[in-house]
Amino acid sequence: MKFGIGEGVKRKEDGSLLRGGGRYVADHAVEGQRHAVVVRSPHAHARFTLDAAKARSMPGVRLVLTGADVVEIGPIPCLAGIPGVEIPTPAYPVLARSEVRHVGDAMAFVVADTLELAKDAAEAIELTWEPLPHVIGAVAAVKGDAVRVWPDRPGNIAFETALGDKAATAEAFARAARTVEVTLVNQRLVTNYLDTRGVVAEYDTARDRVTLTLGSQGSHSIRDILSQMLKLPPEAVRVVTPDVGGGFGTKLFFYREYALAAFAARRLKQPVRWIADRMEHFLGDTHGRDNFTTARLALDDKGHFLALDVDLIADMGAYLSEYAPYIPYLGIGMSPGVYDIPACNVRLRGVYTNTVPVDAYRGAGRPEASYVIERLVDVAARELGVEPDALRRRNFVKPKAMPYDTATGKTYDSGNFAAHLKRAQETADWSGFKKRAAAAKRQGLLRGIGIASYIEACGSNGPETANVKLGKDGDITILIGSQSTGQGHDTSYAQLIAEHLGLPPERVHTIQGDTDLIASGAGTGGSSSIPCGGASLVGATKKLADNLKKLAADALEAGAQDLEFADGTVRIAGTDRAISFADLANRPDATPDKLHTSDAWTPPAPTYPNGTHVVEVEIDPATGSTRIVNYVVVDDFGVTLNPLLLAGQVHGGAVQGIGQALMEQTVYDPDSGQLLTASLMDYALPRAYEMPSFAFETSNVPCTTNPLGVKGAGEAGAIGSCPAVINAIVDALWRAYSVRHIDMPATPERVWAAIEEGRRQLRM
């Protein structure tokens, strides 16, 4: 059986997980552990005083920390800024000291013998409030009379920057034969991974060392930030990440509870455990998206794109989270999409509001950019009376133009955008749509079909170092700083080993997420585990392969060039003379430097996965309900490592995008500042029965800047799905009622209202 690159190997980790063998942070329990809860603000903006005397005196209460008790803990840092832009960053304290700035802001950390006692003590804390004015929503935040979240930030502007050439863009618009404009809302989302965040902090008094067990997307960055905040040397902190049930970007970041649990464990000299409930996930974990965008497109008289002008306001929430400013900046760099647009001007403003901070969520800025350009192109096609696929083909960057420099400073190394559009249309039976639409109309239903052709930049998180070790039993152990959160790294990495050493997956063991065992790590984010981590792993594996052939050449008295790998042996090609990996590992000349190899890969540039989604929907005009009746994806991921895992990634990303397009929305009440969607009773998530079956295939063009030829795939499904679904819905509404646009989420109520307004306009 083949196990290497391109093979559909089933996930080797699933057996244990399906039988309940997974060990998540909530499963981690240690003797003598105490339980913690966080006291959170019920106000969007308020001053407060706090009296914890009663809570501290309650039986079983071990510690109550307030802002005054943790002044020695540094603020949570904002690490990723915008090149060339100085961003004044207000302090993001682990506990607010006298003023809270969003509902859910942390005010106290209570540790007790049981969770129930900790909750009782939290309720016993006496709080006195002075409510202050607040501001909700990015558009409201930039108004001249808006309440300021931070007094020294005029207009609530956290940062402002631009990409492109403003003068060239203005000149192109001045000579354009036609201009098109659209205003879009990319609504705020909450991640809702399966296992909520949590942390268990243990303190070793003899070594003055703290160990944190927590769910993350990379243990090393958590360790480094914690050591900085607690003013400890990195070697005094160990971070261990067990199994993780989804991260989607949101588990990349450092959160208050990690520092508070470590601080409490060191003070008590006892283990401290905190596990978030689902409502705390809504109130305490970073949110995603939340952009308000106006985009304009200039075209000549033949329908060629001349220029793009974008004005984007990104809601950052009350504090700047770890990567917050960089996320919309990363997005605006992809504003031209797959199109040859000679001039661009993209203005970006990040603004403060009295809401939970916003940071990366699957795709991290690129889904927002794809949504803008793909909706804008569809609107242009309708206003010009051109078919949306024809307008796209007319303006695609051509393969012969690669490498192609965009007007926003990106360099696309490879791709054939027309090829995957054509294949997606063939699979979706694009030419037969009119017949299906007519049949639906006879049943009183509306049919629409939509396209989204996307490109993104990813796969550049690094450097990453991989270590490969051959054990005395002949098995291979991989130590690498990436972190699986459900993607199937054990299987993917084992396939790379199989490709170069011929060892079956069950004999390859991957270790991730322990800063004591792994010296460094970039973690997992930006679809980089295979493009970056995989590249470093292949480098280390090739070194080991060379060493094993040299050892085997001596043992078999043959030339290294005559040897090959098969089933855990090195053999002379064309013969049955072989030596097992175990025998090689136990030879006297098999020194550690020959059996342990490492390699590091630093990506010189991002990879640029791209593809086309085609979606067909059916709408009941009586209720506004939308049903997806066909969904086709054709992607270019450069090289396919495992088609089964790849399909799973695309399906999952597409479902998250469909959820955003049709139902998910984080809603704050502008009057009270309350989060109205703070539980799964109020925040809608897609269910399996609501999702379509997917037709997925690849149309790969190998990446020229990655040694494996791969392009990152983890976020792509979420990037192409939102515009494809909304384009399909608007197509149906446009055909029947001339509805030009509808914002996400296209809930039945919103679709029904658009239909009613369309009917009203037609009657006028």
Closest CA to 70 of 46, 42, 103, 106: 106
Token pair listed for 535: 């590249």
**Mean pLDDT score, 305-333:** 97
Is beta strand 288-299 parallel, antiparallel or unpaired with respect to 46-51? unpaired
pLDDT at residue number 2: 85
CB neighbour list of residue 294: distance below 8 Å, 6 or more residues apart? 181, 182, 183, 184, 310, 311
pLDDT at residue number 496: 97
Token pair listed for 504: 């079956």
Architecture of domain 413-456+604-764 in CATH? 2-Layer Sandwich (3.30)
pLDDT at residue number 704: 97
CB neighbour list of residue 463: distance below 8 Å, 6 or more residues apart? 522, 532, 536, 600, 601, 602
Is pLDDT at 761 greater than 90 in this prediction? Answer: no
The domain segmentation of the chain, as residue ranges, is 25-132+192-284, 134-190+287-385, 413-456+604-764, 461-601
- CB contact burial 167-190 (16+ within 10 A = b; e otherwise): ebbeebbeebeebbebebbbbbbb
pLDDT at residue number 187: 98
Q: What is the pLDDT of residues 124-145, one digit of tens each?
A: 999 999 999 999 999 999 999 9
Is pLDDT at 763 greater than 90 in this prediction? Answer: no
Enumerate the β-bridge partners of residue 475: none
Beta strands in 68-208 (DSSP E): 99-100, 106-112, 126-131, 157-164, 178-189, 198-204
**Mean pLDDT score, 471-487:** 96
Q: How sure is the predictor about 634, in pLDDT bands with cuts at 50, 70 and 90?
A: very high
Enumerate the β-bridge partners of residue 160: 349
Average pLDDT score over the chain: 97
- Decide whether 134-190+287-385 matches 413-456+604-764 in CATH topology: yes
Indicate the DSSP class of residue 33.
Answer: -
Q: What is the pLDDT of residues 204-255, one digit of tens each?
A: 999 999 999 999 999 999 999 999 999 999 999 999 999 999 999 999 999 9
**Mean pLDDT score, 522-545:** 95
Token pair listed for 157: 């502007």
pLDDT at residue number 492: 97
pLDDT at residue number 408: 98
Please answer whether residues 730 and 448 qualify as being in contact, where contact means their C-beta atoms are separated by less than 8 angstroms. Answer: yes
Fold of 461-601: Aldehyde Oxidoreductase; domain 4 (3.30.365)
Q: How sure is the predictor about 448, in pLDDT bands with cuts at 50, 70 and 90?
A: very high
Q: What is the pLDDT of residues 570-603, one digit of tens each?
A: 999 999 999 999 999 999 999 999 999 999 999 9
CA distances for 658 relative to 433, 627, 653, 726, angstroms: 21, 11, 9, 9
Q: What is the pLDDT of residues 279-299, one digit of tens each?
A: 999 999 999 999 999 999 999
Please answer whether residues 572 and 641 qualify as being in contact, where contact means their C-beta atoms are separated by less than 8 angstroms. Answer: no
Fold of 134-190+287-385: Aldehyde Oxidoreductase; domain 4 (3.30.365)
Q: What is the pLDDT of residues 9-23, one digit of tens each?
A: 999 999 999 999 999
Given the candidates 3.90.1170.50, 3.40.50.880, 3.90.1300.10, 1.10.1200.10, the CATH classification of the domain at 25-132+192-284 is 3.90.1170.50
**Mean pLDDT score, 334-353:** 98
Report how far residue 69's alpha carbon sits from residue 125's, in angstroms, rounded to the nearest whole number: 15
Is pLDDT at 1 greater than 80 in this prediction? Answer: no
**Mean pLDDT score, 367-381:** 98
pLDDT at residue number 764: 75
Closest CA to 287 of 315, 329, 256: 315
pLDDT at residue number 272: 98
pLDDT at residue number 19: 94
High-pLDDT (> 70) share of the chain, %: 100
**Mean pLDDT score, 545-567:** 94
Report how far residue 552's alpha carbon sits from residue 667's, in angstroms, rounded to the nearest whole number: 65
**Mean pLDDT score, 564-575:** 93
Indicate the DSSP class of residue 335.
Answer: T
CB neighbour list of residue 297: distance below 8 Å, 6 or more residues apart? 179, 180, 181, 305, 307, 308, 309, 376, 377, 380
Place of tokens 């004005």: 311
pLDDT at residue number 730: 98
Is beta strand 198-204 parallel, antiparallel or unpaired with respect to 126-131? unpaired
Cis ω on the peptide bond leading into residue 463 (within 30° of 0)?
yes
